[in-house]
């Protein structure tokens, strides 16, 4: 799967929530975004 680097600013509280739950928080954020996009594509 192709990957792109993304530099931007996000609110601290969602990042802190992911960090508190996993050392692999970047992967968790990526998965959450993939699921969100998938639902939007499906019309949910």
More confident position, 38 or 1: 38
Residue 20 has pLDDT above 90, yes or no: yes
Cβ neighbours for 22, distance < 8 A, ≥ 6 positions apart: 28
Alpha-helical regions (H) of 3-43: 12-21, 25-41
pTM score: 0.81
Pair 21, 28: CB distance under 8 Å = yes
Q: Give 3-17 pLDDT, tens digit per residue.
A: 999 999 999 999 999
Domain locations along the chain: 12-42
Classify 1 as helix, strand or coil: coil
Q: For the chain, what is the radius of gyration of the CA atoms?
A: 12
What pLDDT score does 5 carry? Answer: 93
Residue 28: per-residue pLDDT = 98
């Amino acid at each position: 799967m192709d990957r792109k680097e993304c530099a931007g600013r996000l609110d601290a509280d969602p990042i802190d929530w992911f960090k508190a739950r996993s050392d692999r928080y970047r992967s968790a954020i990526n998965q959450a975004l993939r699921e969100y996009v998938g639902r939007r594509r499906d019309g949910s």
